[in-house]
Amino acid sequence: MKIEISRGVGGIKYVKIVEKCRLQDPRAGFSIKEYVIERRRDPLTGKWCRINVERALRERKVEEKEIEETVKKVFDEYVPTCPFCSSRIENTTPKFEEGDRIYHGKVIIMPNLYPFAETHAIGVIDPDRHVIDVSDVCDYIVDIIEGSITYFRRLGFRYRYHYINMNFLFPAGSSIPHAHIQIFATEYPSVYHEDILRRSVRYYDKYCRNMMVDYLLSEIQNSSRLIIASEDTVTFAAFCPRSYNEVHILHMYEHDVLSLDKRGVDSLAEPICRVLKGFRNILLQRTFNFAILSTSRKKHSKHFRIMVRLCTRKEPVPYYTNDIGFIELLHEEPVIITYPEDTAKKLRHGT
C-alpha cells in the first residue's frame, strides 16, 4: 500500500491510496496477475471511492442493436398510457394546490404525484416528443433551469436549498421513459450538500478562503481532469467519482441559481449540453443522471458555488448488472471502472 498526496490551491489536498492485489489467473495458465486498485478521497466531502479499471473487462459486451431494440421497446410500450404525452397530460397529471402548473418554453412543471419532499415537483420535457435521446436533452436545458427558477421563486424564502435533477431511462432510476426532471427545495441541505458545506465552513474558518473556489482553481491548475473552462464555469472529471464518468461543473462566482440572469443561465446550460453530447457521441452512453445544487443562503457565498454533477449509468438492456452493489450501497464506497483522467481526456478532445 502506498499513500500519494498532492496539494492543490489553498488547503485542497488530493489523497490516493494505491493497493496491489495478486492472484493466479486461470485465463493465462494460472500465471501471476497483479491488479492496481486506487482508493481516492474526495477533496470536497472527505468520502472515498475505489477505482479498478480492469473491472471494465468483466462488463457484458452489449451489441448496439440489442440496446437500440430495448430502448425502442421501452418507449413503445409506454406510448398508449404515457401520462406525459400531449394527448393525456392535461387530465392525467397533478396541479399545484393553487390550481395551476408552470409552463416555461417546452417544460411543464407540476407537483410530483409521489413526493419525497415538502416541495417536490417534476418538469415534463416536451409533451409532443415522447422519444428523445441523451443529446436531445440539450435542446431543453435552458427551459429546465429557467422553469425551475420560476418554481423556486414561487415557493418563497423559506426553502433556501435548491436542487434540479434528472434520471434518464430505467438504469438511472426513471420509472417513466418520457424525459422529465425532478426538482425540490428544502429548508436544510441534502446529505451530500451538507457534507460539502460542513467541511467548507471549517475550511473558511481555517484558511479564510472558499473551499469550492480553491477546488475549481486546483482543477484548472492541474489540468489532467479539466474538460473546459469558460468565463463563468469550470468543467472537469471528478477526482473521486461516485458513479461512472462523473463530471462536475462549478460556477466560479455564484452560489445561487436564483441570482442568475439570462446570460448566467446560458453560461450554465452550455457546459451541461457539451457534457451530455460528449456522453452520447463520444462515450456512446444512453442513460445518465444529473443534479444541480444551489443555495440562496447569503452566508454560503463564502462556502459554496453552484455545482452540477453528471454521470452515466449502465446500458439499458434486459438483465443488466446494476452499478450499485453491497460495496456502494452498504459501505458507501463506489467502485469505478474508469480513471477520471481518461474520462476527461476523451470528453476534452470531443467538446
Footprint of Zn ion (CB under 5 A):
82, 84-85, 130, 178
DSSP of 107-174, one letter per residue?
EEEEE-SS-SSTTEEEEEE-TT-S---GGGGGGGHHHHHHHHHHHHHHH-TT--EEEEEEEESGGGT-
> Measured from the CB atom, is 136 or 341 closer to Zn ion?
136
Cell of 225: 481532469
Cell of 179: 424525459
To Zn ion, the closest distance from the beta carbon of 86 in angstroms equals 8
> Measured from the CB atom, is 177 or 334 closer to Zn ion?
177
Provide the CA 79 distance to its chain's centre, in angstroms: 27
> Measured from the CB atom, is 82 or 110 closer to Zn ion?
82
The candidate with the shortest Cα–Cα distance to 264, out of 351, 108, 146, 153, is: 146
DSSP of 149-164, one letter per residue?
HHHHHHH-TT--EEEE
To Zn ion, the closest distance from the beta carbon of 101 in angstroms equals 16
Which residue has the closest beta carbon to Zn ion?
Answer: 82
Helix or strand (DSSP H, E) at 44: none
To Zn ion, the closest distance from the beta carbon of 75 in angstroms equals 8
> Measured from the CB atom, is 83 or 111 closer to Zn ion?
83
Cell of 79: 406510448
To Zn ion, the closest distance from the beta carbon of 170 in angstroms equals 15
> Measured from the CB atom, is 125 or 196 closer to Zn ion?
125
To Zn ion, the closest distance from the beta carbon of 130 in angstroms equals 4
